[in-house]
Amino acid sequence: MTSTMTKTQAELAAEDPYLWLEERNGKEALDWVHRQNAVTVAELQGDPSYQGAFETALDLMTAEDNIPVGAALAGHVYNFWQDKTNALGLWRRTTVASYKTDKPEWETIIDFDQLSAKEGVKWVFGGASRLYPDFDRCLLYMSPDGGDASEMREFDIATKSFVADGFRAPASKSGFSWLDKDTVIVSAAFEEGDKTQSGYPRVIKLWRRGTKLEDAGPIFEGEKQHLAVGGGVEFDGDKRHVLLGKTIDFFTSHSFLRLASGENRRVPLPDDATDTAIFKGQLVFGVRSPWTAPDGTRCLPDGLYSVDFDRWIETGTFGPFETLLEPAHRVSFAGLARTQDRLFINLMDNVRGKVVVCDRTDKGWSLKPVGLPDNGNVGISHAEHFGSSVSFSFTDFLTPSSIIWSDDDAEMLQTVKSQPARFDASPYISEQFEARSRDGTMIPYFVVRRRDQTGPAPALLYGYGGFEVPLLPGYAGIRGRLWLDKGNAYVQANIRGGGEFGPAWHQAALKGKRQNAFDDFAAVAEDVVRRGITTAVQLGIQGGSNGGLLTGVSLTQRPDLFGAVIIDVPLLDMLRYTELPPGASWIAEYGDPSKPEEAAWLGAYSPYQHVAADAAYPPVLLMTSTADDRVHPGHARKMAARLQAACHGRTMFFEETEGGHGGRGDRRPQAAQTAMRYVFLQRALSTGPKSGSRFSENPVLD
């Protein structure tokens, strides 16, 4: 008989009894969702502890003393703000001087609750592209449901109104940026011919004011199989560069400079160049794999390099390459940002943050560390491209976030915002350990627990492990109040596949090596049990998106290691993920199930295909969103249905009808989901199965 991993996608689809649940808005599928939601809401929101947990989560999410994180531009700090009164939020601004005070005087630009009430659409703010050099006009993004697809409208900040007969485009995954006040660069994803196979823009067009969007002329195209294209204007001092990009997949791309002649000249960097910036005539870049530059310079991952960009524009050839920053053991890049006169490099050193400030003179590069706190998560909050203001964030698991501000390129630093403590951190300790994975690799992880813990306690293990995304220490008041304060522990695993230690750490779990990430996570789980921090029956796990795949695999491969599993907005059917848009965009990460060799490794771990009727699975909670247009809700729906059909009645499912992949929009449903997760964990890990509930062994059939 043909094995699951060697069948074609058509054969798999024909055999899939839950294919109908992939119909995002199909009546039968939504009826199933509503029945599932009713059971889960009754069970979890009916728990006596739910209401208090919900109120705590909502209070903290919408607290008026939360830090208003903002970015400075032309004398103002812009901020998006949500609280209990402003559920959909305010886009607002204040002066830099006022921002530094305890009570800034905010000027509302757009009230999205008022706009939504007026237009009958729950608009979710998605950002704005402002027009140089006055920054008084913007191209405003608004999502009608919290998903990635957004409507664009031209907006006048000075008059606080949409521009009559201005630029406007319907909701899509297109991108827009200003070329000048009468021309917009459109990365188009409207019609099928405009889209890549992943549903993202394939064609870049120039749209002139006063003309129809459909009449915009193409200037650049990618291939159907590419991930996306994008374009915009980059300023380096008074020089303006029009840059166009062709993203081949998640980790490779081609960049082009559009010349005055209309020629699109490719910038001859390696396909996997990363961390690029243009600064004082220099093109700064890193690489994901070793590359020998034309002059013989050896460029290595986790290093940073530069070359004379102005010379290349004039001559078409690169001159000498320079090493800006040498690679170092377990040090990797978290990002680059620049002000008008300085370049800032955000680094991670053994999963702890630091920032280096760089200058460029006739003598070359000069570097020095920014005097920020040690042993925590340090990030660059903003860097004013056309000025000299820059701000940094600092936090760790037990230290509330703060904003450290400078108006002079980090010469003088001032803490201007500090979030109040949301729980008493004095009884707790944050520790970093290492676990030995199956292949011998040492995997770092953090544990936050009570200092006086003398025996095993319920613990929540969180992981991600994909797409070069690092998991860094961070303060979470809700976690403190609803989890730590109940005597529980929190564990955060820095498994391979993430970006904690640069490209090599990610590549060690790429495609056919994915099992390494799952083994790493299991190794951390075993290690916290071995150390006596928790026991297997007291250990819950949680992950979202790619982390949802991680927890789904952990459920099916090692159910003995865990007492509860939360699977959020997940990928779970890895043999059909490319058929659920925009799944094809992740082939560079996971592999292509249409190719037999790659289907073999995908099928070896794909959770949906590995649900077993005779397995002793712990309680499971799957959560997703109907409006999620990044990871299709069909993954979570089908997994829940298959688990329940296999008589695993301790499986619960909940689907929010709005909010998209990241849960954007109204905080109330976000608070409700958060409270339900903690109620689920507390019940599963602190008490035994309850008769007649989904924590019992009796399945609830639909």
Token pair 């402003």 is at which residue? 86
Q: What is the mean pLDDT of residues 574-600?
A: 95
pLDDT value at residue 649: 87
Nearest to 126 by CA among 660, 667, 671: 660
Cis peptide before 593 (omega within 30 of 0): no
| DSSP bridge pairs for 27 | none
In tens, the pLDDT along 113-124 reads: 999 999 999 999
pLDDT value at residue 697: 40
Q: What is the mean pLDDT of residues 399-427?
A: 97
Element (H, E) at 547: helix 546-557
Are 176 and 139 in contact by the 8 Å Cβ rule? The answer is yes
Other beta carbons within 10 Å of 143: 24
Residue 39 pLDDT level (bands cut at 50, 70, 90): very high
Residue 660 pLDDT level (bands cut at 50, 70, 90): low
Other beta carbons within 10 Å of 129: 19
Residue 664 pLDDT level (bands cut at 50, 70, 90): low
Residue 700 pLDDT level (bands cut at 50, 70, 90): very low
Say how far apart CA 483 and CA 684 lie, in whole Å.
Answer: 13
Nearest to 629 by CA among 664, 656, 666, 660: 660
Q: What are the Cα distances from residue 519, in Å, to 435, 526, 546, 553?
A: 11, 10, 15, 10
Buried b (16+ CB within 10 A) or exposed e, 253-279: bbbbbbeeeeebeebebbebbbbbbbb
As a whole number of angstroms, the longest Cα–Cα distance in the chain is 77
In this structure, what token pair is assigned to residue 268?
Answer: 């001859």
Portion of the chain with pLDDT greater than 90, in percent: 90
Say how far apart CA 124 and CA 121 lie, in whole Å.
Answer: 9
| SS3 state at 561 | helix
Are 460 and 541 in contact by the 8 Å Cβ rule? The answer is yes
Q: What is the mean pLDDT of residues 361-366?
A: 93
Q: Is 545 a catalytic residue?
A: yes
Bridging pattern class, strands 399-406 and 390-396? antiparallel
Portion of the chain with pLDDT greater than 70, in percent: 95
| Inter-axis angle of helices 27-40 and 634-645, nearest 10 | 70
Sequence-ordered alpha helix ranges (H) in 67-207: 96-99, 112-119
Element (H, E) at 176: strand 175-180
Other beta carbons within 10 Å of 51: 12
pLDDT value at residue 696: 42
Buried b (16+ CB within 10 A) or exposed e, 363-397: eebeeeebebbeebbbbbbbbbeebbbbbbbbbbb
Are 299 and 305 in contact by the 8 Å Cβ rule? The answer is yes
Say how far apart CA 266 and CA 254 lie, in whole Å.
Answer: 7
Token pair 């405009």 is at which residue? 194
Buried b (16+ CB within 10 A) or exposed e, 322-341: bebbeeeeebbbbebbbbbe
Q: What are the Cα distances from residue 72, in Å, to 86, 97, 414, 576, 630?
A: 23, 11, 15, 44, 30
Nearest to 76 by CA among 128, 35, 41: 128
In tens, the pLDDT along 141-155 reads: 999 988 889 999 999
What's the count of helices (H) and strands (E) in the chain, helices before strands?
14, 39
Q: One of 389, 545, 554, 625 is an active-site residue; which one?
A: 545
Q: Tell me: pLDDT of 410 over 80.
A: yes
Q: What is the mean pLDDT of residues 405-433?
A: 97
| SS3 state at 162 | strand
| DSSP bridge pairs for 283 | 278, 307
Please state which of the ranges 156-165, 429-438, 691-700 shows the lowest mean pLDDT. 691-700
Nearest to 211 by CA among 245, 165, 257, 171: 165
Say how far apart CA 558 and CA 280 lie, in whole Å.
Answer: 53
Q: What is the mean pLDDT of residues 644-669?
A: 84
pLDDT value at residue 356: 97
Bigger pLDDT: 694 vs 225: 225
418: buried, middle or exposed (CB in 10 Å: 19+, 13-18, 0-12)?
A: middle
Q: Is 129 a catalytic residue?
A: no
Nearest to 289 by CA among 273, 268, 305: 273
DSSP summary character for residue 631? S
Other beta carbons within 10 Å of 687: 9
Residue 666 pLDDT level (bands cut at 50, 70, 90): confident
Other beta carbons within 10 Å of 132: 16
Residue 614 pLDDT level (bands cut at 50, 70, 90): very high
pLDDT value at residue 147: 86
Are 172 and 187 in contact by the 8 Å Cβ rule? The answer is no
Nearest to 498 by CA among 512, 476, 516: 516
Q: Tell me: pLDDT of 23 over 70.
A: yes
Q: What value does the mean pLDDT of the chain take?
A: 94
Say how far apart CA 95 and CA 101 lie, in whole Å.
Answer: 10
626: buried, middle or exposed (CB in 10 Å: 19+, 13-18, 0-12)?
A: buried
Say how far apart CA 579 and CA 574 lie, in whole Å.
Answer: 10
Say how far apart CA 384 and CA 447 lie, in whole Å.
Answer: 36
Q: One of 554, 648, 661, 693 is an active-site residue; which one?
A: 661
pLDDT value at residue 3: 55
Q: What is the mean pLDDT of residues 545-563?
A: 98
pLDDT value at residue 699: 33
